[in-house]
Structure 1
């Protein structure tokens, strides 16, 4: 049976019949799991424990929430420089680490059952042990700007971090490091880096940017990534795609996009249903099937939640654009002879490299100027900034054996599967962190002063059975409005139990579970 036929299967049974069939050991019918999960998630609602809760004086917002691997402890990263731990069984605050950092805490990530890491706008990371929280076990210094997210690569036993300094670092936990630092390597660097996420198996690294596209690195090898990608400038290549004009400083890296590439292969994703500008947050499906992101439009007034497929595609799906077919070299051309550029082709100079590498703020300023916009529409944007410095000799050794790459621009595949527009004008300037349920069937999205539960279709099927022929809107299973006194910034599902939490800008945490 095809996935489309499975998507049309709808199974409904009463709670009594479900329990009775389980008692009798009857074989589950097709759609049974979908129906059970829909019943459970449809009955989610907020609840308050019967055990009196400690009052936690948290000033400012809850920026991130993370459960321990066994689901027993919830850790909250707070704007007031603190970290708060809760007992998930009774929702009671068990400990608050005052002044955990010298600036707001942005993210929490559990490394194992007892150790978790936090990062902050003070440019540092800290490791903590839940069995002894008087002080951190290690402080990691290396970034030069706000550290915004933490990932853990189990296969390499390294922490992967990214910051607003544009760098991605790996921190080797296996080395005999000091209490105050740790050996680290810079594995990638780019302007406009917003967030990074690893798939659970560590095979893909997804980078969210402030310039309206996602960058996927397939078949990740963290040990060789720096050398493989050290001279590649994603913004420069993206600028070439937008202008539809080739220049050697970018096209010489076409090989990084080749489907046959065995490690650190690059792919861009840019098909958003809106005019996306800043990809503010990103999450990966538990099975690594897709990337869930939230973006802000160019007018800074609307936000959208989008789902993009990130699985490996057939090599035949990947294509490229030839900008000037008349300039393609003859097959019998002497490899030692450099073909002259055609009349319609201009070798790009050093200033073009500057355009692709300059700050996003400066680039956006230039792009928003009316005269620049008009020239961009005519495909002449690069020419107006070019200094006229011809540096083609820098790239001749590469193109001597790959003449065709001078005129090729890799096309980005359509990857969008689902989307939904978020509430307008809510919490402007703050990043909202979405999350998946542990089984990957459900998405929880901050929605004003509450949250929304979103599914891939009406049957709440797993995404592998709910891939549409064309992008479609996410199904809204439930909306919880005004459950907080302020805008919700983050949410999280318990990895072991049917339990969910959300945190808001006012410092409150609301707990949810099925209410029968």
Structure 2
């Protein structure tokens, strides 16, 4: 694996020209790896053949504002979301028009997920809402939908591969986890107040009501501790939703990032390990002077009571980033086998491993948090890289930058 990933170079046809379409905000391969889609700043979506690097189609005016994210539902259907507050469904077999446009958000839509078990589309936006769309009953006029969750400062939302958990990152440094996820059940809650975890020796709990008709949230202040326990050392558990039903129970975490122990941070990017073993976060300090990539292992089981001393995540690996292109979100990703991380780094990307041999995460878990290993650094852009993605079927990586160019990388022996 080290030889394979270490031999990756820029491909011969390294530049896919998108420079007239603004910055590249997101890249997404179809599940069979036959199509690479590009979400662009200037309202357009580009489609390429990633093997031949040939341009297939440009969806002009796919939206009325920046296209932020793309998500494939299967090998032919995909969804796009935009700052115009809408989501659009597309069919690769008929790209001249949208399948339908979904209206429901009131601010920029930044994230799309898909529950393959229930065939429900899940979106999140800067209005703080997570909305569920019933694609089983989709028409030209849209899809039935409901507000599933709301929180302030929402940045990114992800589902674990088995769709058993929903993770939500916030610009205020919180990571929310909904355990035993059931998207078919309404939480009947208008808002969960976000309370900053405080380091205090007080043993009292802070309790607040989320709404007159919703459940109550019990918030336990974080206690300062010098314990060597990894969970206490690297992650402070702030709260968990209590209720009769175990489904959709809420846990609120405040990840501690190296170099940020005395300052808040913003979790700008959130990804899940393909086998559901860990979560990958990109964090930047509130003062924008530091940026970190961190890996947190899912510990067995979720806390069952708010007073539980253990949280469900533990920091295992980290690395400091270049901290360039301030104000722009950098999207990083796991490889399909979960052995590697591709991370935007200045005008290129870095391939990061859990150890120098590119072993599986479970085979090289450290007792204490350790630095990620740089396997290879690849620089082929003339501007700051904002997003990167592994092909799900080929040993290929794509990256897109602020000036609108897409680079492809693959092994070269």
Q: Shorter-normalised TM-score: what interval?
A: 0.7 to 0.9
Find the aligned partners of 1:257 and 1:90 in 2 and give their Cα distance.
Answer: 50
Cα deviation for residue 57 of structure 1 reads 5.0
Is this contact kept in 2: 1:120–1:147, CA < 8 A?
A: yes
1:263 pairs with 2:247: yes
Q: Residue in 2 aligned with 1:196?
A: 157
Aligned CA RMSD, in angstroms, stands at 2.5
1:498 aligns with 2:395: yes
CA distance in 2, matches of 1:54, 1:247: 53
Q: Deviations over 1:318-376 (max 9, x none)?
A: 7738xxxxxxxxxxxxxxxxxxxxxxxxxxxxxxxxxxxxxxxxxxxxxxxxxxxxxxx
Q: 1:58 aligns with which of 3, 15, 20?
A: 20
> What is the total number of aligned residue pairs between the two structures?
383
- In 2, Cα distance between the equivalents of 1:453 and 1:260? 45
Q: Which has the larger radius of gyration?
A: 1
TM-score with structure 2 setting the length: 0.87
CA positional deviation for 1:241:
6.8
Query: Are 1:259 and 1:315, in contact at CA under 8 Å, matched by a contact in 2?
Result: no
The counterpart of 1:272, out of the listed 247, 254, 257, is 257
Question: Structure 1 stretches of 5 or more lacking a match?
Answer: 1-36, 322-409
1:417 aligns with 2:404: no
Picking from 86, 93, 107, the partner of 1:124 is 86
Post-superposition CA distance 1:366-392 (Å, at most 9, x none) = xxxxxxxxxxxxxxxxxxxxxxxxxxx
Q: 1:56/1:428 Cα in 2 relative to 1: closer, same or farther (>3 Å)? A: closer
The more displaced of 100-109 and 263-272 is 263-272
Match of 1:457 in 2: 355
For the residues of structure 2 that align with 1:155 and 1:179, how far apart are their CA atoms?
23
Question: Would the aligned equivalents of 2:383 and 2:402 in 1 still touch at CA under 8 Å?
Answer: yes
Q: Which residue of 1 aligns with 2:6?
A: 42
Structure number having the greater strand percentage: 2
**Distance change (3 Å), C-alpha of 1:475 and 1:94:** same
**Residue 132 of structure 2 corresponds to residue 173 of structure 1:** no
Report the Cα offset of residue 259 of structure 1.
Answer: 12
User: 1:91-121 CA deviation, whole Å, 9 max, x = no partner?
Assistant: 1111111111000100000011101100000
| C-alpha contact 2:179 2:248 (8 A) present in aligned 1 | yes
* Distance change >3 Å, CA 211–CA 443, structure 1 → 2: same
Deviation for aligned residue 1:315 = 5.5
| Separation in structure 1 between the aligned mates of residue 201 and residue 310 of structure 2, nearest angstrom | 13
Matches within 5 A, 1:80-479: 80-175=42-137, 177-227=138-188, 230=189, 233-236=192-195, 238-239=196-197, 246-249=205-208, 252-254=216-218, 256-257=240-241, 262-270=246-254, 271-275=256-260, 276-313=264-301, 320=307, 412=311, 415-424=314-323, 426-479=324-377
1:311 Cα deviation from its structure 2 partner:
4.0
| Alpha carbons 1:58, 1:78 under 8 Å: kept | no
Further displaced range: 70-79 or 412-421: 412-421
Between Structure 1 and Structure 2, the one with more helix by share is 1
Asked if 1 retains the 8 angstrom alpha-carbon contact of 2:240 and 2:252, the reply is no
What SS does structure 2 have at the residue aligned with 1:235? coil
Structure 2: segments with no counterpart, 5+ residues: 210-214, 219-238
Q: How far apart in 1 are the matches of 2:303 and 2:131?
A: 31
Cα–Cα, structure 1 residues 252 and 165, in superposed 2: closer, same or farther, change >3 Å? closer
Following superposition, the deviation at residue 58 of structure 1 comes to: 2.8
Q: Deviations over 1:121-179 (max 9, x none)?
A: 0000001111111111100011000000100001111110000000000100111x431
Deviations 1:14-46 (CA, angstroms, capped at 9, x unpaired): xxxxxxxxxxxxxxxxxxxxxxx1110010110
CA distance in 1 between counterparts of 2:166 and 2:355 reads 27
**Whole-angstrom CA distance in 2 between matches of 1:194 and 1:495:** 25
d(CA) in 2 for partners of 1:502, 1:242? 43
SS in 2 for 1:39: helix
CA distance in 2: counterparts of 1:219 and 1:300, whole angstroms: 35
**SS in structure 2 of the partner of residue 253 of structure 1:** strand
CA contact (8 A) 1:195 1:280 kept: yes
TM-score (norm 1): 0.70
SS in 1 for 2:194: helix
